[in-house]
């Protein structure tokens, strides 16, 4: 953590009674900064607003967040921004405060140290032993209760495995510990429904829009490990990595295929446009 | 929050990069202080050790926690102590730090303002709309991911309802938002299995031991709302409230019955013994 602001003030600490610390009572989003531009920031702020609303946490407002982001970024070119929005302080126990004054925390981090070849070479992934519990009330949200992902990330340590895929308690494939997952089947894209668990990633939405733009049919489905086994291609997305083709999942090997490559190319162009638009405006 | 210590130092803040704030990556326990004595503290510390172990968070040690507790308590007679133990700082993203140095946070709070008649009169409870997700990996633990309880507690606001009962996503009765629940059926005690979700409360264990001591059969079962409807008595437990008989659950009314009263009497005696033992030694 290089630098942080809490409610607009530079600091490295948070009040112990903040509900973010007491209960994980908050939402967050993680933004890639490239060439000095926080990529797709508008979408990330929309997500904070949307996810907060699902939890009855009022939005802190884009104006103050933009101010925080600009203050932290300075002339940094490559970085990661994390924006958290908690329910603030107050309330007795789990009970909501009568008036919620959300806390905003914006922090700047070094860029992710992933090898530059992953987008071309693809990555090795495996299944995690840890399952995702099913709870529609929290499904899709990027909330601050992340113990399932932490346990899942501890299911493997060193070695060539780069990401772990998680199934829900009924055995369906949902997502990676930090990524969303896409399958390619006969030229069409499919990705797991996130109505029962999982995080609806910003990059997932962007890639789905890209597919639509490129005339690639895309559907959300209940996906089984057998579906993943039978897929022609598999790839992972998130806002930090962009798109990584999957080279292998357990014993099954996949090609770095044409659909992933076409979408990666489209993403590169879209990202460049986003950078130009930000710099211009 | 009257007073707090983080790793033995008096403070009201925590580092933003503590995994407790970033991910809810920690466990906690809540202790009632009565007549200057932190009730059943040994059991609470055991629970921290046990729950931490399930999440691979090493125990900070009873010596330092006892020191924190004594320092905070001073000559306070009635209070609530909250002890949190997080995975500390470090690690990239969800990944565990190579060496975990847990953070301990002990905080002192005013006693709970519940009406004194609840243990005698019983309380009104209802069902929450919010369900508990099923995840055996986290079941039973008092961890810091508490969004389900927060959403459930927001299912009702003012009015005579004192506690909400939660069902899991399959519809089984599991617990209250802040309590465990017991049913009495033909003189026997039953309480929901907590192998798939729910928190294994300290007071739940104490009451189960009390039942055994009093010759009351006690069993853990998968409990349905129909079982609750058919029960002769219903009561709630936690470390702060002790035991509250349930007077009504939705439209169903219950007597404050002999089994609850016998156990409440036993608990009073056991608590008195615990206070004497602490004061003596």
Query: Can you give the pLDDT at residue B87?
Result: 98
Residues of chain A with C-beta less than 8 angstroms from the C-beta of B178: 93-94
Average pLDDT over residues B131-147: 97
Residue B30 annotated in active site? yes
Q: How many residues does chain A have?
A: 281
* Same structural domain, A96 and A225: no
* Same structural domain, B253 and B138: yes
Which chain A residue is nearest to residue B178, measuring alpha carbons?
A94
Catalytic position from the list B103, B130, B142, B163: B142
Percent of all residues in chain B with a pLDDT value above 90, rounded to a whole number: 95
Inter-chain CB proximity B147 and A197 less than 8 Å = no
Question: Which CATH number belongs to the domain containing residue B24 in this structure?
Answer: 3.30.470.10
Asked if B111 and B79 count as a contact pair (C-beta separation under 8 A), the reply is yes
Query: Can you give the pLDDT at residue A211?
Result: 98
Inter-chain CB proximity B21 and A18 less than 8 Å = yes
ipTM, two decimals, is: 0.96
CA-nearest of A199, A194, A191 to A259 is: A191
Structural Rg of chain A based on CA atoms: 19
Domain total in chain A: 2
Encode pLDDT of B152-172 as tens digits.
999 998 789 999 999 999 999
* Same structural domain, B80 and B152: no
Which chain B residue is nearest to residue A108, measuring alpha carbons?
B17
Cα angle B167, B172, B174 (rounded to 5 degrees) comes to 55
Q: How far is A103 from chain B (nearest CA, A)?
A: 12
CA-nearest of A89, A85, A6 to A47 is: A85
Is residue A281 included in any domain, yes or no?
Answer: no
* Same structural domain, A93 and A155: no
Tokens of A63: 């104006």
Inter-chain CB proximity B147 and A23 less than 8 Å = yes
User: How far does CA A197 lie from the centroid of its chain?
Assistant: 14
Encode pLDDT of B199-246 as tens digits.
999 999 999 999 999 999 999 999 999 999 999 999 999 999 999 999
Is residue A139 included in any domain, yes or no?
Answer: yes
Please list, in sequence order, all residues whose beta carbon lies within 8 angstroms of the beta carbon of residue A50, skipping any fewer than 6 positions away: none
Helix, strand, coil share of chain B (percent; to 5): 30, 30, 40
Helix, strand, coil share of chain A (percent; to 5): 30, 30, 40
Query: Alpha-carbon distance A232 to A234, whole Å?
Result: 7
Query: Alpha-carbon distance B189 to B151, whole Å?
Result: 29
Encode pLDDT of B94-105 as tens digits.
999 999 999 999
Task: Give the residue numbers spanning the domain of A35.
Answer: 3-109
Inter-chain CB proximity B147 and A18 less than 8 Å = no
Residues of chain A with C-beta less than 8 angstroms from the C-beta of B93: 153, 178
Q: Is the pLDDT of residue B1 over 60?
A: no
Q: How far is A150 from chain B (nearest CA, A)?
A: 5
Query: Alpha-carbon distance B252 to B11, whole Å?
Result: 47
* Same structural domain, A142 and A252: yes
Buried b (16+ CB within 10 A) or exposed e, B43-82: bbbbbbbebbeebebebbeeeebeebbeebbeeeeebbbb
* Same structural domain, B49 and B89: yes
Strand partners, A27: A85, A143
Average pLDDT of the residues of chain B:
96
Residues of chain B with C-beta less than 8 angstroms from the C-beta of A87: 150
* Same structural domain, A33 and A142: no
How does residue B281 score in pLDDT terms, banded at 50, 70 and 90? confident
Residue A64 buriedness (CB in 10 A; 0-12 / 13-18 / 19+):
middle
Q: How far is B142 from chain A (nearest CA, A)?
A: 11
Query: Can you give the pLDDT at residue A280?
Result: 87
CA-nearest of B116, B88, B82 to B17 is: B88
Instruction: Report the residue from B145, B154, B177 with minimal CB separation from A147.
Output: B145
* Same structural domain, B261 and B122: yes
CA-nearest of B150, B134, B243, B235 to B184 is: B235
Inter-chain CB proximity B132 and A135 less than 8 Å = yes
Which chain A residue is nearest to residue B108, measuring alpha carbons?
A17
Inter-chain CB proximity B146 and A105 less than 8 Å = no
Is residue A279 included in any domain, yes or no?
Answer: no
Residues of chain A with C-beta less than 8 angstroms from the C-beta of B138: 133, 147-148, 151
Is residue B278 included in any domain, yes or no?
Answer: no
* Same structural domain, B138 and B213: yes
Domain boundary among B109, B128, B145: B109
Residue A277 buriedness (CB in 10 A; 0-12 / 13-18 / 19+):
exposed
Question: Alpha helix locations (H) across chain B?
Answer: 19-23, 41-54, 62-73, 118-121, 147-153, 202-213, 225-230, 258-280
Domain boundary among A109, A136, A171: A109
Residue A5: how many CB atoms within 10 A of its CB? 21
Domain boundary among B60, B76, B109: B109
Average pLDDT over residues B258-276: 97
Residues of chain B with C-beta less than 8 angstroms from the C-beta of A16: 1, 4, 6, 11-14, 105, 107
Tokens of A25: 């009572």
Residue B275 buriedness (CB in 10 A; 0-12 / 13-18 / 19+):
middle
Q: Which residues of A are catalytic?
A: 30, 142, 175
Give phi and psi for A4, each to the nearest 5: -145, 160
Residue A124: how many CB atoms within 10 A of its CB? 16
Is residue B175 included in any domain, yes or no?
Answer: yes
- B173-176 and B161-167: which strand pairing? antiparallel
Give phi and psi for B40, each to the nearest 5: 55, 35
Per-residue pLDDT of chain A in tens (281 residues, 90 and over written 9): 569 999 999 999 999 999 999 999 999 999 999 999 999 999 999 999 999 999 999 999 999 999 999 999 999 999 999 999 999 998 889 999 999 999 999 999 999 989 999 999 999 999 999 999 999 999 999 999 999 999 999 999 878 999 999 999 999 999 999 999 999 999 999 999 999 999 999 999 999 999 999 999 999 999 999 999 999 999 999 999 999 999 999 999 999 999 999 999 999 999 999 999 998 87
Is residue B277 included in any domain, yes or no?
Answer: no
Q: Is the pLDDT of residue B272 over 90?
A: yes
Residues of chain A with C-beta less than 8 angstroms from the C-beta of B1: 16-17
Inter-chain CB proximity A96 and B154 less than 8 Å = yes
DSSP state of B224: -
Residue B142 annotated in active site? yes
Please list, in sequence order, all residues whose beta carbon lies within 8 angstroms of the beta carbon of residue B265, skipping any fewer than 6 positions away: none
* Same structural domain, A147 and A253: yes
Buried b (16+ CB within 10 A) or exposed e, A179-191: bbbbbbbeeebbb
* Same structural domain, B246 and B141: yes
Which chain A residue is nearest to residue B114, measuring alpha carbons?
A92
Inter-chain CB proximity A148 and B132 less than 8 Å = no
Question: Which CATH number belongs to the domain containing residue B160 in this structure?
Answer: 3.20.10.10
* Same structural domain, B162 and B28: no
CA-nearest of B169, B165, B162 to B229 is: B165
Return the C-alpha torsion angle A260, A262, A266, A269, nearest 10: 110
Inter-chain CB proximity A149 and B94 less than 8 Å = yes
Is residue B281 included in any domain, yes or no?
Answer: no
Is residue A278 included in any domain, yes or no?
Answer: no
Among A1, A4, A7, A21, which would you mutate to test the B interface (most chain B Cβ atoms within 10 Å of its Cβ)? A21
CA-nearest of A225, A222, A206, A203 to A214 is: A206
Asked if B83 and B49 count as a contact pair (C-beta separation under 8 A), the reply is no
Residue B156 vs residues B151, B162, B163: alpha-carbon distances, Å? 10, 9, 9
Q: How far is A211 from chain B (nearest CA, A)?
A: 29
Residues of chain B with C-beta less than 8 angstroms from the C-beta of A56: 154
Q: Is the pLDDT of residue B61 over 60?
A: yes
């Amino acid at each position: 953590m290089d630098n942080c602001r809490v409610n607009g003030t530079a600091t490295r600490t948070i009040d112990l009674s903040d509900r973010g610390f007491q209960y994980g009572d908050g939402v967050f989003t993680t933004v890639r900064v490239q060439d000095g531009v926080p990529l797709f920031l508008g979408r990330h702020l929309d997500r904070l607003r949307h996810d907060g609303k699902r939890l009855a946490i009022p939005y802190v407002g884009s104006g103050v967040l933009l101010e925080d982001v600009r203050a932290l970024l300075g002339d940094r070119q490559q970085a990661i921004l994390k924006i958290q929005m908690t329910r603030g302080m107050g309330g007795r126990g789990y009970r909501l405060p009568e008036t919620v004054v959300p806390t905003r925390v914006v922090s700047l981090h070094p860029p992710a140290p992933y090898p530059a070849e992953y987008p071309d070479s693809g990555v090795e992934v495996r299944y995690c032993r840890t399952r995702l519990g099913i709870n529609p009330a929290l499904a899709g949200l990027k909330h601050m209760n992340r113990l399932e992902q932490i346990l899942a990330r501890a299911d493997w340590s060193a070695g060539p495995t780069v990401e772990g895929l998680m199934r829900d308690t009924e055995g369906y494939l949902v997502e990676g510990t930090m990524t969303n997952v896409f399958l390619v089947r006969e030229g069409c894209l499919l990705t797991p429904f996130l109505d029962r668990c999982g995080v609806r990633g910003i990059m997932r939405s962007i890639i789905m829009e890209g597919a639509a733009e490129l005339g690639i049919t895309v559907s959300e489905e209940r996906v089984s490990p057998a579906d993943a086994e039978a897929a022609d291609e598999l790839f992972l997305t998130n806002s930090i990595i962009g798109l990584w083709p999957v080279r292998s999942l357990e014993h099954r090997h996949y090609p770095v295929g044409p659909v992933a490559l076409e979408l990666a190319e489209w993403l590169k162009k879209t990202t460049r446009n986003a950078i130009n638009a930000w710099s211009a405006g």
